[in-house]
Structure 1
Amino acid sequence: MRIGFQVLSLKPGSVGGQEVFVRRLLSQLTAQLGSDRLVLFARPQFVVHPDLDSLLRDRRVEVIAEDPEPHYGPGYSDWILRQLDDVALDVVCFPLSFFYPRPLPMPVVLHVPDIQHEYFPQYFSDEQLAWRRERIAPSVALADAVVTYSDFSARCLRERMFVPADALHVIPSGGFTTPEIASLRTDWDPAHARSTRVLPDAPFVLYPAGDWPHKNHETLLQAFALLVRAGRPEHLVLTGMISQRRTELMALVERLGIAERVHLLGCVRRRDLVGLYSSAAALAFPSRFEGFGQPLVEAMQMGCPVVASRAAGVMETAGNAAAFAEDDPVAWAERLIEVLANEALQEELVRRGARRAAEFDWDHCARRHMQVLRSTASRAAIGVGVPASALPGIRGA
């Protein structure tokens, strides 16, 4: 069987955690391939990454590295079809919530981490909302199988996009892979991290998240200002993709009078992220909407106590291994102080976190993905859900 994995639409550095997930999944798939073959369609800059070294050396893997941007325009659909047809695929996986053109002449497995735009449209510009609605729902309607990462996301897909249960597969992600942890811990140099201002010379709370509106940095910053006023010594370290909201967030930091205690680092190297998890007094995760919440698992793997929001996807992933806070600055400040001031509670959260993180296994994740790909390839491409034209407000495929 020939399995396609199409990530041409993934521009490195543009989609945050999903990019990390795709690379980690690909790095684990070769152990599950058996006699099957994998054809990876990706941008050249995506392929050149240490995570994919073993994948690229595998003789069962063919990489078609192309830059799709020169082909954008009226001929783009034909170009994509030629790319796929030339390698005679039995099934193709699209891990980024949509595929194009639609329909395709082979069975499609589509990953949809979440459909946040259906529940919080206010977090998107009109242009972003139109882009998502024109692509995601029609793709879901024409996919042969849909993979998502939590029961919460599966409920959302059934509720808003009418995906039947037998076509919907919940496959939780993992955190760091075992080889990642071993190598990155070895590479971590706290002294160098302090000299380059990655690691503060003080205890700190960590929040690794892009600055998208649903990540709810504002509530955390207001809560942290209350911690400072209460005399707590901690700093706040923020990592992740930074967009045009940086100016807005830094203005809030200045108004709150906490600029000397907040470190906005942007994207950091993975070894630095591992070190930050290992060194942090706690992880704060105030996100209002998550399909999974990968930093929760990563923090628990690294022995970092977790304080998290009560968003449904967050609570599902964290299980009983987090201290949960209501979506309010005062509630967040109180919960953080409770954890930071209580060593016994920290130790209990770390113990629970280690047990919970062990439930998210990359070997199981890769094995389940291969099962879905193989079963989908064995069926005719019959489509999932309802026709895109029948969905209210959605343009037909």
Structure 2
Amino acid sequence: MILAKRTIFINGRYLTQPLSGVQRYAEEIVRALDARVGAGEASADYRLLCPPGARNAGLAHISQEEIGRRGGHLWDQIDFARAARKGVALCLASVGPVALSRQVVVIHDAAVQRHPEHFSRFYGAVHKTIDFVLARRARVATVSDFSQRELAEVLGIPAARIIVAKNGAEHLQITPDADVVDRLGLSGVPFFLVLGNITRNKNLAVAIRALALLQPSPIRLVAVGRLDPSVFGTGFLPPIGEGLVLPGRLDDAEVAGLMRDARALIFPSLYEGFGIPPLEAMANDCPVLASTAEAVVETCGDAAEFFAPHDEAALAKLMQRASSDAGWRAARIAAGRARLALFSWRASADTLAQEVEALAR
């Protein structure tokens, strides 16, 4: 008797959310799964289920379907759960339906447990509860060895039970926007780049303070992301000073264009589960100055120069070196290219596919 393939239902709620690290991970893993299906390597059928209003994922081999009328957590826990109970669920953006046991859920970090001060009380309580339940019902995956250890400790499960499927950077190995530097008035100007939305964890403040130590000078700091100038000078961040450029959100080609011309990417995070921007920089021959947050050190290895996340004087010295030492820059670029070879969206998609397809069997 020939048994029908069991379906793997991918949670597509990430397609209703702004693009940041978690959504990027989901987007690229799904694209890699789509290629895997197209190559005939999948042993199960895949379907991408989304809430109303989701953007088009642009897949060639996996169907994208809109289900339900809800949004947010209610869609996860009711609409998606109801559809996915017929097969196996794959949830890539840190949340999955607590009613399902036949699923793989990627929890990217233990930030809500380790740093509850970075979140609202309600958000933290909801995610702590969901994480705890999922750890006991679902198969948990994460994005780094550091996060594997963190989640094992805070959720009380053996680290060996947590799958590690890391981030990649192939998505930014693209043709850069060659005009973005001119549009931002940065042609011929030494500048550093910071990527990420303005949250306490991203620690933009230390980069702003380091920039201030270098003034007066032609050096600029370009902070790309959802940045609201009204939060500067409120205690969250220092007041806007000389040399700070706030272009808002940019597309991938524009970010790649800035990376190709920047003296270095500054990645000052206090806590990360992985940290994609350093890999994106390495993919565009941009040196990396990174904080000593444990997951960031794991990701960057010997390809970055590190500073303590509250030490603006140390960061300012690294910025001075990156601005003037061509030999240093060439060495960092070469080390970044070598480091980049260790990461692949396709390899991580294969790791996750093996788990969900085993559950489907």
- For normalisation by structure 1, the TM-score amounts to 0.81
Query: Does 2:203 match 1:216?
Result: yes
Q: Distance in 2 between matches of 1:321 and 1:64?
A: 41
Aligned letter for 1:137?
F
**Partner residue, 2:343:** 360
Task: Please state how far the C-alpha of 1:295 moved relative to its aligned partner.
Answer: 0.4
Structure 2 CA distance for partners of 1:252 and 1:280, relative to 1, 3 Å = farther
* DSSP-derived class of the 1:39 partner: strand
Q: Distance in 2 between matches of 1:128 and 1:200?
A: 42
Q: Distance in 2 between matches of 1:252 and 1:340?
A: 29
Query: Does 2:92 match 1:95?
Result: yes
Aligned letter for 2:35?
A
Structure 2 CA distance for partners of 1:246 and 1:42, relative to 1, 3 Å = farther
Task: Please state how far the C-alpha of 1:8 moved relative to its aligned partner.
Answer: 2.6
Task: Please state how far the C-alpha of 1:228 moved relative to its aligned partner.
Answer: 1.7
**Partner residue, 2:262:** 280
**Partner residue, 2:212:** 225
Structure 2 CA distance for partners of 1:9 and 1:209, relative to 1, 3 Å = closer
Aligned letter for 1:212?
T
Equivalent residue in structure 1 for 2:161, among 167, 176, 180: 167
Q: Distance in 2 between matches of 1:131 and 1:254?
A: 28
Q: Distance in 1 between matches of 2:188 and 2:122?
A: 42
Q: How is 1:316-395 mapped onto 2 (pairs within 5 angstroms)?
A: 316-327=298-309, 328-378=311-361
Query: Does 2:111 match 1:116?
Result: yes
Structure 1 gaps, min length 5: 379-397
Compare 263-272 and 195-204 and name the one that shifted more. 195-204
Equivalent residue in structure 2 for 1:136, among 131, 134, 142: 131
Number of equivalences: 351
Aligned letter for 2:351?
R
Structure 2 gaps, min length 5: 1-5
Query: Does 2:291 match 1:309?
Result: yes
**Partner residue, 1:8:** 13
**Partner residue, 1:239:** 224
Task: Check whether the contact 2:275–2:296 (CA below 8 A) recurs between aligned residues.
Answer: yes
Task: Please state how far the C-alpha of 1:117 moved relative to its aligned partner.
Answer: 1.8
Task: Check whether the contact 1:236–1:263 (CA below 8 A) recurs between aligned residues.
Answer: yes
**Partner residue, 1:152:** 146
Structure 2 CA distance for partners of 1:142 and 1:82, relative to 1, 3 Å = closer
Identical positions, percent: 25
Task: Check whether the contact 2:141–2:165 (CA below 8 A) recurs between aligned residues.
Answer: yes
Task: Please state how far the C-alpha of 1:275 moved relative to its aligned partner.
Answer: 0.7
Q: How is 1:256-267 mapped onto 2 (pairs within 5 angstroms)?
A: 258-259=241-242, 261-267=243-249
* DSSP-derived class of the 2:274 partner: coil
Task: Check whether the contact 1:253–1:262 (CA below 8 A) recurs between aligned residues.
Answer: no
Aligned letter for 1:27?
R
* DSSP-derived class of the 1:96 partner: coil
Q: Distance in 2 between matches of 1:347 and 1:316?
A: 22
* DSSP-derived class of the 2:215 partner: helix
Compare 125-134 and 147-156 and name the one that shifted more. 125-134
- For normalisation by structure 2, the TM-score amounts to 0.88
Aligned letter for 1:309?
S
Task: Please state how far the C-alpha of 1:198 moved relative to its aligned partner.
Answer: 7.6
Aligned letter for 1:82?
R
Aligned letter for 2:262?
A
**Partner residue, 1:386:** none
Q: Distance in 1 between matches of 2:359 and 2:198?
A: 36
